Structure 1
């Protein structure tokens, strides 16, 4: 029963994970997404105080 011999199956598992972790992520990360967030300025906007009377 050759399926009980772990030697070939372990190497298949190892090389498949090696491909998944080394080849595929750079290909996915190389895509440029069209809606990247733009940098915002460091200025804080001034808020107006609330002038409603509570009494």
Structure 2
């Protein structure tokens, strides 16, 4: 079965001790500063030459 990553590591600032998604607190803080709520990206902004592709996703429920 194919998987699709929909997130990014080191982006959650909740600080849960058991979390595997964050590896470095400094990186988390840097990534959170780069977040733009008006951007379609989780971190940063679209730049010239960037391409966003729609994917057909099937649900198996």
> What TM-score, normalized by structure 2, do the two folds share?
0.21
Q: Which is bigger in relative contact order (C-alpha 8 A, separation at least 6)?
A: 2
Larger fraction in helix: 1
User: Highest CA radius of gyration, 1 or 2?
Assistant: 1
